[in-house]
A and B are shown apart, each in its own frame.
Chain A
């Protein structure tokens, strides 16, 4: 080999060592950067000897990353649902406790009034207890409606974030296409894809052309190459003014509200349209069944004025049920006696009390008391299940993150060791070049 060849050999080695040092330095600098994949310089043997630097690569497993993104969608969905249910549980739990107590107190007060049906204090107490039941139902309905509206507002904000993230992934695809040699660009795109999965779920995979494609469970594509769709929340009259979630790609609009499999939006949608909605429907059914049954008995019996035909409650939903204005204003109108009997008769109160044990709640399967307890326990169970699901999903995500970290994470200790090795190699290369230089000087001096 000619001496110039030896020079080139040394220079190639220097360049490769510098590239490796640069990669190691970046690794150390980004040790705490989320989503950063450990980088290394790609070296190759040169024909005729020596080494050349081909570029940089990052330690990444495309399949593992895809699974991690998909799992992140499930984890974020579980977290979104669990957080919303925890918030609702904190607010609605005490109201459920009150409701159960007030239903028992109302029926108890009918029984207590029977001991002295003309006692104004007992009559006031019985009407007050009925008002407490209505008030608890009103507050529970209001809490649920507000929680659903809050979730809806969250969904709107999340849809905007998802749109931004989809654009960021598409922009990342473009950047990677323009400069495939920069591993940092792929990191940025992967990070955006991870956040997008966290926001809306779906699957984000790298196509053979190196482009990230993001597809929702419904099949709707939200990132296709360098094109991103818009994710928007549109108020929907069919959903009582709450939003539907749409994927907008040019003129094509795809309603994905009921098709999301995870992500924060999916979690909030499940909270809004399933858990909170079912809880509200249950309360509405209880209010309607309870009010209807009590009114049916109340209207057949008479107040202290001997008049029949009055309802105790008006309104047929949890939000609207109240004690009728007439009875609330004049407790003597509470129907305690049978039609035609004197004011000391308690047949009306006995009939009202009997409703306590009648299986008229839950579609004729349980008592009103049991139904109120069931609704509270149902929300508690949903909240607990959501926490357990979050814990499960978090565990799965942690496992995948640990595997990914094992493959792609940066260990400062390893990088410092590598840096030390590179330093020795660099010193050897410098000495090699110096020796070649000395040999060249010797040859020139002999000539």
Chain B
């Protein structure tokens, strides 16, 4: 086919332009470290990268929720520890004063301490989180969960968070799981014990001992429940951290530029550009001669 000089110059110019574009593209990948900057670069890889990034965003939000919920459950745990300690002290006092070797004066002093422990337990059950929400009120977080008589005023609901796809964990513990409701009434029990101590009623004091041990078991069960939830959340977070590493690697693989491949592409494109330029110059020399 007859090829005119004009066509040859045009072809040489096109070759140089295309080579320059390839060099520019390869340089951009090396400097940014990104192979797929927008969907049109590689729609399938972009979509997969977007999915992985969305997943990472969701996981971050879950981690944040788990962190907040763990704090809340930690405060719940501390309150329950305090309740349990107070119950332990009450049980100790009751065991000691159940002995008839103690007189009425000793038992009246014991009653004073039991009432102080009752107030302490009531205060623990009115514990609040950093936002001022009652920990043991169920969903009624704005008001004290127990009134002065120890009657539960909250409900049986609870906030819950999603720790993994389809897995939710309650982060609240309704107060009637600790006192009252279907279980033992701690406050009422301490009131009864204080009255027995004031009355110097040894039999009544001894009768309260089993109730106190049962109450303590009730609090321990609640603590176990809280611990189980915290553990589940921790496991979910650990899994998420592992998945996060995989997701980061996946995102990098999908949209990132492999440094070795990018460097090879750049070297190849640079060689191509040099060759195209040399060919164009050679052709111009021939035409000029």
Contact = CB atoms under 8 A, between A and B. Distances in A.
Interface of A: 31-32, 85-86, 89-90, 93-94, 96-97, 100-101, 103-105, 107-109, 111-112, 114-119, 337, 341-346, 350, 353, 356-357, 369-370, 373-374, 376-381, 383-384, 387, 402-403, 405-407, 409-413
B64 A96 contact: no
A99 to B, nearest CB: 10
A341 B2 contact: no
Contact of B162 (A114, A370, A410, A412): A114
A299 B39 CA distance: 36
Contacts of A378: 43
Given A377-B46, A380-B46, A403-B1, A346 B38 contact: no
A413 B5 contact: yes
Contacts of B134: 344
B172 interface: yes
Interface string B100-121: 0000000000000000000000
Given A119-B131, A342-B155, A344-B137, A108 B6 contact: no
Given A111-B62, A342-B139, A369 B47 contact: no
A405 B4 contact: yes
B40 A89 contact: yes
A377 B54 contact: no
Contacts of B58: 104, 107-108, 111, 356
B7 A405 contact: yes
A342 B162 contact: no
B6 A405 contact: yes
Contact of B159 (A89, A345, A384, A407): A345
Nearest to A341: B139
B47 A377 contact: yes
Contacts of B60: 108
Chain B interface size, under 10 / 10 to 19 / 20 to 34 / 35 or more: 35 or more
Interface of B: 1-7, 38-44, 46-47, 50-51, 53-55, 57-58, 60-62, 64-69, 72, 129-134, 137-142, 154-155, 157-162, 165, 168, 171-172
Contacts of B46: 376-377, 380
B57 A384 contact: no
Contact of A116 (B5, B42, B131, B162): B131
Contacts of B39: 89, 93, 96, 376-377, 379-381, 383
Contacts of A413: 5
Contacts of B172: 344
B133 A118 contact: yes
B6 A384 contact: no
A31 B66 CA distance: 76
B139 A345 contact: yes
Given A374-B47, A376-B39, A353 B5 contact: no
A376 B51 CA distance: 12
A104 B69 contact: no
A412 B5 contact: yes
Contacts of B54: 100-101, 103-104, 369, 373
A116 B6 contact: no
A345 B172 CA distance: 10
A93 B138 contact: no
8 contacts: A89-B39, A116-B159, A343-B139, A344-B137, A344-B172, A381-B40, A384-B41, A409-B4
A380 B39 CA distance: 4
Given A342-B140, A350-B162, 8 more contacts: A90-B38, A96-B39, A103-B54, A342-B137, A344-B139, A356-B58, A379-B39, A403-B1
B76 to A, nearest CB: 13
Given A101-B54, A344-B137, A344-B138, A411 B2 contact: yes
Given A115-B72, A376-B39, A346 B141 contact: no
Contacts of B139: 337, 341-345
Interface centre among B44, B46, B168, B171 (most CB of A within 10 A): B46
A108 B64 CA distance: 9
A129 to B, nearest CB: 9
A86 to B, nearest CB: 8
Nearest to A38: B4
Nearest to A384: B40
The 5 residue pairs across chains A and B that have the minimum distance between CB atoms: A380-B39, A108-B61, A342-B139, A344-B141, A115-B68
B288 to A, nearest CB: 11
A377 B50 CA distance: 10
B243 to A, nearest CB: 15
Nearest to A120: B131
B68 A381 contact: no
